[in-house]
Structure 1
Amino acid sequence: MNLVQRLQQKEEKALVQLMELHGDYLLRTAFLLVKDRQVAEEIVQDSFIVAFDKIDQLQHEERLRNWLTMISLNLCRSRMRKWSWKHILVGFEDKFENLEDDEIVNGPEDMLMTLSQNTELYIAIQQLDYKYREVITLHYFNELKVNEISDQLNEKDSTIKTRLSRGRKLLKEILLKGGLKHAE
């Protein structure tokens, strides 16, 4: 029996396996969109609960990851509608806590360079409007194709391409203002 079938049978071990397979991916996506690790963790947890409850609505087993992403995106959007943008702050401490081990293997100088560039990029992305931040996150961090993003967001391919283009342009402007030379 495959994972989806086990989930349909409401097997709790299958839910744990689902969380292990897709948890980091969904957390990264949610965190980039809502800018708060604790809120992102709550969204991911809620995403798995919704998925477990509504697994029978999944029409194509091979699209499980996309379906989970869509659930998470909808929960992010819902949360964002409830928030006032004034109250969202960029947290620098999280960047130190979330550095991957493979980012530090080349020594402290490389770690500081990576941290500096990642922090600048992260801050720049957070300055984008949600519609641009969303497509940039899905395309560059989650490596989705334009047609996959348009399916998930229920938008035309041309709309996604336009948002990606404008988002990249805005991101470049933000990075150049901040002095990041790699944006040129």
Structure 2
Amino acid sequence: MDEERQRIEQLKSGDETALAWLMERYGSDVLRTAALLLKDRYWAEDVSQETFLTAFRKAYQYRGDGTLRGWLLRIAINLCRSKMRLASWRRLFLRESVDVDQGLDGNAAWPDSLEPGSASWMNRMTLREEIGRMPLIYREVIVLYYFHEMSTAEIAAVLEESEGTVKSKLHRARKRLKLQLEEGGWEYESSWGG
């Protein structure tokens, strides 16, 4: 039995050490996803905590037909959707935004470190701002595809949608992002597709 399956069985039996393992292993992914979707530090932290508590309370619902990471991200996304329904867009975006460059362990969440003020740093900030302006349905697929490097099939499982729907949303999201970036005078990189 691999470690993940063993931990799921421990979760199902109410073992809190399995919960701690889950939080340590997937905490950064869950927090980063919530932060990128909600654009609010406190709500992202709240959703992150709620995600793990929900997973702990409802471990019996995990069927094992997808990855554990995907199941947790699905819980987090559903909680983000609930938060979004409760708040107006204006109020949400006026709050302090979270630093998604910083992981839970204090290390950089991005693979490379960029000098603040450099062209690459400015491009990243612009890109993050433009993604934040997109409707939630497009931000979800962009975050999962590009930030978590999930396949369209994995995203479909997380969002509980067909793979065709995910591909369509991803295509529309790329087109919208390209347009937003071009309107802002930014050179659109073809590596993002579209």
TM normalised by structure 2 equals 0.82
Partner of residue 71 from structure 1, selected from 60, 65, 75: 75
Please say if 1:100 is aligned against 2:108: yes
Tell me the residue number matched to 1:146.
Answer: 152
More helix by share: 1
Per-residue deviation at 1:92?
Answer: 7.9
8 Å contact 2:178–2:188 — kept in the other structure? no
Distance change in 2, residues 1:22/1:114 (3 Å): same
8 Å contact 1:132–1:163 — kept in the other structure? yes
Per-residue deviation at 1:180?
Answer: 2.0
**What is the number of residues matched between the two proteins?**
181
Please say if 1:115 is aligned against 2:124: no
Partner of residue 180 from structure 1, selected from 168, 176, 186: 186
TM normalised by structure 1 equals 0.86
Tell me the residue number matched to 1:23.
Answer: 27
Per-residue deviation at 1:19?
Answer: 0.2
Alpha-carbon distance in 2 for matches of 1:129, 1:120:
16
The C-alpha deviation readout for 1:50-90, integer Å capped at 9, x for no partner, is 10011111111762111111111110111111111121227
The C-alpha deviation readout for 1:8-43, integer Å capped at 9, x for no partner, is 222222111110000000111111111112111100
Tell me the residue number matched to 1:43.
Answer: 47
8 Å contact 1:4–1:61 — kept in the other structure? no
Distance change in 2, residues 1:94/1:55 (3 Å): closer
8 Å contact 2:35–2:100 — kept in the other structure? no
Note the residue ranges of structure 2 that are not aligned, 5 or more in a row. Answer: none
Alpha-carbon distance in 2 for matches of 1:135, 1:62:
17
Alpha-carbon distance in 1 for matches of 2:98, 2:60:
36
Note the residue ranges of structure 1 that are not aligned, 5 or more in a row. Answer: none
Distance change in 2, residues 1:62/1:133 (3 Å): closer
Please say if 1:88 is aligned against 2:96: no
Alpha-carbon distance in 1 for matches of 2:96, 2:124:
11
AA at the equivalent of 1:177 = E
Per-residue deviation at 1:149?
Answer: 1.6
Distance change in 2, residues 1:62/1:163 (3 Å): closer
Identity within the alignment, %: 36
Alpha-carbon distance in 1 for matches of 2:49, 2:108:
22
